[in-house]
């Protein structure tokens, strides 16, 4: 699928010169031949699942109107002929064939990759000029889209009022390109851009994640509040009487700070494990996907079946940390400690989406791996592949 992902640039040069720094346009970066996604199928997906979706209409009921999915058929029949887009996040969970578009970007760690977002636009459809907080690779899949950007650091960042969408009201582009199928535009965070469909088109965004410092600290604090180290309470038996009751005395400050410092010190020992769990925690599973994989209906605990093919439940994140004494494998927020001798098996599980019967049989010759796989299957992190949810080739959706 990759033709020349970064054109004449090597991956190393891309990382050195562009990643998080500078936009890059690559003509014919990926091969999109043979890909034929039916917009009606995307619309059906937004009606029959909880795939995160939105419709953005320019000059709808308001200058920029946004409707959030799930949708009903009538939401699509009442749309104008032009100037609207349908955007669906996490599309790789619903159209697994699109996962191939993530593969070339796995020179970056999986935990940095957020999702694939597909957008279908009618002629002149766009989401308005804006900027994103994350890196994005915009791949033109079908039709043409005109992208305009500005690299001026002193751009006017004032936003349009009267809409929930963050649209730049005085966007002044200094570069513009028409992207054809296979062309790709990389944008680092914070670069103002505007993509307008020239006729009907489809664009795929490979989106990245980078937790904000505030998010990271808040989530960690939420977690350590439950820690044993914070079970105690400030105490001050045998304190001296205080001359002025308004003062927070140095001795009290020291006692209060000691609680914080001690708690933080003790929780710091498990920081790697917390990060591994935090970075692999998944979103709430879509009930439509649970149903498609026959998970909700089942009340027995699934066990590993020999000679069956498995796959990750869509959206399940895996990652590992190599420690001094062991490997910690993280699967959807769960932690498993394994011996270093299991490194290859752990790497295989983290690398693949599909785990075929022969590979599983060979892994299961090791009792620790067999137990791990059983636990993952019991927890529906790995599921039987026979319930494959969607068949893009025939254009059929099992949801409709």
Tell me which residues touch Co ion (CB under 5 A).
Answer: 132
Residue with smaller CB distance to Co ion, 57 or 136: 136
The least CB distance from residue 171 to ligand SIN, in Å, is 12
Q: Which does 203 bind (CB under 5 to 8 A by kind): ligand SIN, Co ion, none?
A: ligand SIN
**Residue nearer to Co ion on the CB measure, 83 or 381:** 83
d(CA 143, CA 60): 24
Residue 277 interacts with, from ligand SIN, Co ion, none (CB under 5-8 Å by kind): none
Question: How far is residue 207's CA from residue 215's CA, in Å, rounded to a whole number?
Answer: 18
Nearest distance, CB of residue 203 and ligand SIN, angstroms: 4
328 in helix, strand or coil?
strand
Estimate to the nearest angstrom the gap between the alpha carbon of 174 and the chain centroid. 30
Q: How far is the CB of 204 from Co ion (least distance, A)?
A: 13
Which tokens hold the place of 170? 């005085």
Least CB distance to ligand SIN at residue 127 (A): 5
Q: Which is nearer to ligand SIN, 143 or 195 (CB)?
A: 195
Q: Nearest residue by C-beta to ligand SIN?
A: 119
Q: Which is nearer to ligand SIN, 176 or 262 (CB)?
A: 176
| Contact predicate 389/314, CB 8 Å | yes
Strands 334-338 and 184-187, by their bridges, are: unpaired
Q: Which is nearer to ligand SIN, 182 or 195 (CB)?
A: 195
Residue 170 Cα distances to 124, 129, 158, 159, 206, angstroms: 19, 9, 7, 8, 27
Is the Cβ of residue 119 or residue 267 nearer to ligand SIN in the bound state? 119
Q: Name the binder of 280 from Co ion, ligand SIN, none, CB < 5-8 A by kind.
A: none
Binds 116: which of Co ion, ligand SIN, none (CB < 5-8 Å by kind) = none
Site residues, ligand SIN (CB under 6 A): 85, 119, 121, 127, 132, 136, 193, 195, 203, 205
The interface partner of residue 85, options being ligand SIN, Co ion, none and the CB cut-off 5 to 8 Å by kind, is ligand SIN
Residue of 91, 90, 59, 187 whose CA lies nearest to 133: 187
Strand order in the sheet with 318-322: 318-322, 327-331, 334-338
- Pairing relation of β-strands 310-312 and 382-384? antiparallel
Q: State the minimum distance, in angstroms, from the CB of residue 293 to ligand SIN.
A: 29
Residue keyed to tokens 């664009």: 203
Which residue, 127 or 331, is less far from ligand SIN as judged by CB? 127
Q: Is 294 left (phi over 0), alpha (psi -120 to 50) or beta?
A: left
Residue 55 interacts, among Co ion, ligand SIN, none and using kind-specific CB cut-offs from 5 to 8 Å, with: none
By a kind-dependent CB cut-off of 5 to 8 A, residue 119 interacts, out of ligand SIN, Co ion, none, with ligand SIN
Among Co ion, ligand SIN, none, the one that 205 touches (CB under a kind-dependent 5 to 8 A) is ligand SIN
Closest residue to bound Co ion by CB: 132
We find the least distance from the C-beta atom of residue 218 to Co ion, in angstroms, to be: 25
Alpha helix ranges (H) inside 49-180: 73-77
- Cα–Cα distance, 64 to 126 (Å, whole number): 10
Which candidate, 207, 181, 211, 179, places its Cα nearest to that of 194?
179
Residues 36/204, Cβ–Cβ less than 8 Å: no
User: Whose Cβ is closer to ligand SIN: residue 30's or residue 121's?
Assistant: 121
- Residue partners of 156: CB distance under 8 A and separation at least 6: 168, 169, 170, 171, 172
Report the nearest approach of ligand SIN to the CB of residue 38 (Å): 18
Task: Tell me how far, at minimum, the Cβ of 140 lies from ligand SIN, in Å.
Answer: 10
């Amino acid at each position: 699928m990759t033709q020349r992902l970064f054109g004449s640039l090597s991956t190393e040069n891309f990382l050195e010169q562009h990643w998080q720094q500078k936009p890059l346009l690559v003509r014919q970066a990926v091969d999109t031949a043979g890909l034929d996604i039916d917009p009606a199928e995307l619309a059906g997906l937004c009606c029959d699942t909880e795939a995160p979706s939105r419709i953005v209409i320019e000059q709808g009921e308001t200058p920029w109107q946004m409707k959030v999915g799930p949708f009903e058929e009538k939401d699509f029949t009442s749309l104008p002929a032009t100037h609207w887009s349908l955007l669906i996040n996490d599309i790789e969970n619903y159209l697994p064939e699109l996962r191939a578009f993530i593969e070339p970007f796995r020179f970056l760690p999986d935990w940095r990759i957020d999702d694939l977002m597909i957008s279908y636009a009618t002629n002149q459809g766009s989401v308005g000029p804006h900027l994103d907080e994350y890196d994005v690779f915009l791949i033109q899949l079908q039709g043409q889209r005109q992208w305009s950007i500005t690299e001026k650091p002193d751009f006017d960042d004032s936003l349009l009022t009267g809409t929930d969408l963050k649209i730049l009201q005085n966007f002044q582009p200094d570069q513009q390109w028409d992207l054809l199928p296979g062309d790709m535009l990389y944008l680092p965070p914070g670069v103002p851009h505007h993509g307008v469909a020239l006729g009907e088109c489809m664009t795929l965004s490979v989106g990245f994640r980078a937790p904000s410092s505030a998010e990271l600290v808040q989530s960690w604090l939420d977690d350590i509040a439950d820690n044993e180290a914070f079970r105690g309470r400030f105490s001050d038996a045998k304190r001296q009487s205080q001359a002025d009751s308004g003062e927070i005395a140095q001795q009290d400050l020291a006692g209060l700070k000691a609680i914080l410092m001690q708690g933080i010190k003790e929780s710091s020992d498990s920081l790697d494990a917390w990060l591994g769990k935090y970075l692999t925690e998944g979103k709430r599973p879509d009930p439509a996907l649970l149903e498609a994989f026959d998970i909700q209906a089942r009340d027995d605990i699934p066990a590993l079946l020999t000679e069956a093919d498995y796959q990750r439940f869509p959206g399940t994140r895996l990652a590992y940390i190599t420690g001094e004494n062991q490997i910690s494998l993280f699967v959807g927020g769960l932690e498993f400690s394994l011996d270093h001798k299991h490194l290859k098996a752990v790497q295989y599980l983290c690398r693949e989406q599909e785990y075929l019967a022969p590979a599983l049989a060979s892994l299961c010759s090791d009792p620790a791996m067999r137990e791990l796989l059983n636990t993952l299957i019991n927890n529906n992190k790995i599921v039987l592949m026979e319930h494959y949810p969607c068949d893009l080739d025939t254009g059929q959706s099992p949801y409709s």
